[in-house]
A and B are shown apart, each in its own frame.
Chain A
Amino acid sequence: EIVMTQSPATLSVSPGERATLSCRASQSVSSNLAWYQQKPGQAPRLLIYGASTRATGIPARFGGSGSGTDFTLTISSLQSEDFAVYYCQQYNNWPPYTFGQGTKLEIK
């Protein structure tokens, strides 16, 4: 099973600033990586797939990069609605498609 490790566990950033979240895979997943956002009491929402392609309706301030084992989600200028938990997920190897443990993005 591929283990996905996200860092940091919690990230404190001020509104308007840039946030950088990391995700590392225990073995190469090529570009088969997605990012999700989850707000309290809500289902997760797809942000990025293919490591760097924004899903429909996702603002341009969200950007994904990386391939192989190291990936980054960047939010260029944080808005109040961006404070949430973010998960990465690999879909290179089944079973299973694994999630990272999440990074909580909180207001500084």
Chain B
Amino acid sequence: EVQLVQSGAEVKKPGESLKISCKGSGYSFTNYWIGWVRQMPGKGLEWMGIIYPGDSDTRYSPSFQGQVTISADKSISTAYLQWSSLKASDTAMYYCARLIAARHLDYWGQGTLVTVSS
């Protein structure tokens, strides 16, 4: 069974750093792109970027370029999303999901809620 399991909810202060994770199982992790999607409270879905764990090829949406870093460790089938300095506006639910043929998202993680507040 394909599963993407994300790390737990985080509460951080502005300026702090954070790295959240997404662990894949039940399929060949290195052969599928992983995407990260943001959902701000009460809002829609926003595509942040994608990574191919096989070679760590990473592509960012222009809105998120320079704001976050996407990475992966194929040895433990885990993708990451990280911030070096969080802002209150980073408060959101973050989902990872598997891309089929680098196109649409067929399996999703359960989401990681990030709350940034002083």
Contact = CB atoms under 8 A, between A and B. Distances in A.
Interface in A33-58: 34, 36, 38, 43-46, 49, 55
A74 to B, nearest CB: 19
Interface string A76-108: 000000000001010100111111111000000
Interface in B64-118: 95, 97, 100, 102-106, 108-111
A95 B104 contact: no
Interface residues of B, number: 25
B45 to A, nearest CB: 4
Given A43-B109, A43-B110, A95-B62, A87 B103 contact: no
Interface size class of A (residues with CB under 8 A): 20 to 34
A99 B47 contact: yes
A65 interface: no
Contacts of A45: 108
Interface of A: 1, 32, 34, 36, 38, 43-46, 49, 55, 87, 89, 91, 94-102
24 contacts: A34-B104, A38-B45, A43-B108, A43-B111, A44-B45, A44-B105, A45-B108, A46-B104, A49-B100, A89-B47, A89-B104, A91-B103, A91-B104, A94-B59, A95-B62, A96-B61, A96-B63, A97-B35, A97-B47, A97-B103, A98-B47, A99-B46, A99-B47, A100-B44
Interface of B: 35, 37, 44-47, 49-50, 59-63, 95, 97, 100, 102-106, 108-111
